Amino acid sequence: LAGASQRADTMAKLIRYCEGVMEASWLTALVSIPLFLAPWGESTQTEKSYLLRSLTICMLTAWAIKLISQLGLGAGKWSSTGASLRTVLKTPLARPTMILVAVWVTSTVLSLDPWVSSWGTTGRRDGTYTALCCVLFFAAMATHVRSDRQIERIVTAAILTTIPICLYGIGQ
């Protein structure tokens, strides 16, 4: 009985850690992507895409570990995760987003140059992979932002990020 209790405590800590990694990832993206600037004057789109995709992979890894940990805790936690996913799927934008993703994937598969459709052109890197990362990024946020404190942190990060951007624009 003590071993099961200790295992449950360890899994609960792992779940909280994964949720922290996910929140740190989306807050990092909200702050760093708008502030990313190449002082040498070249396009920063490619670097911003790399950053977004890397943070999305970090979030998805934490999300997968969290789901596996919840599965290990028992059906109660797993069913609550399924309920939150069902709630997100019932939102008004879920079906149009799934249709859009299906169109992206279909157009990539049927493209004359699937490589460019998947990864994007050399200068921008805005292919299907980046678009899917955006969708998954916001899906992870939609399923995990639950408290007012999290919303306050997101809004604060977004507002504080605009200050240096505005000052830079005024300085130009």
- What are the structure tokens assigned to 87, written together? 């709630």
Task: Write down the pLDDT at residue 80.
Answer: 57
CA atoms of 163 and 172, how far apart (whole Å): 14
Residues of the chain with pLDDT under 70: 1-2, 38-43, 73-85
Task: Write down the pLDDT at residue 2.
Answer: 63
Phi, psi (5° rounding) for residue 34?
-65, -30
Task: Write down the pLDDT at residue 83.
Answer: 59
Task: Write down the pLDDT at residue 157.
Answer: 95
For 4, other C-beta atoms within 10 Å of its C-beta total 8
Task: Write down the pLDDT at residue 122.
Answer: 75
> Which residues fall within 8 angstroms of residue 81, CB to CB, at 6 or more apart?
67, 70
Question: What is the residue whose two structure tokens read 């997968």?
Answer: 64
CA atoms of 72 and 135, how far apart (whole Å): 27
Q: What's CA 42's distance to the chain center, in Å?
A: 26
Cβ atoms of 52 and 103 closer than 8 Å: no
Q: Is 74 left (phi over 0), alpha (psi -120 to 50) or beta?
A: left
Q: What's CA 72's distance to the chain center, in Å?
A: 24
Cβ atoms of 18 and 65 closer than 8 Å: yes
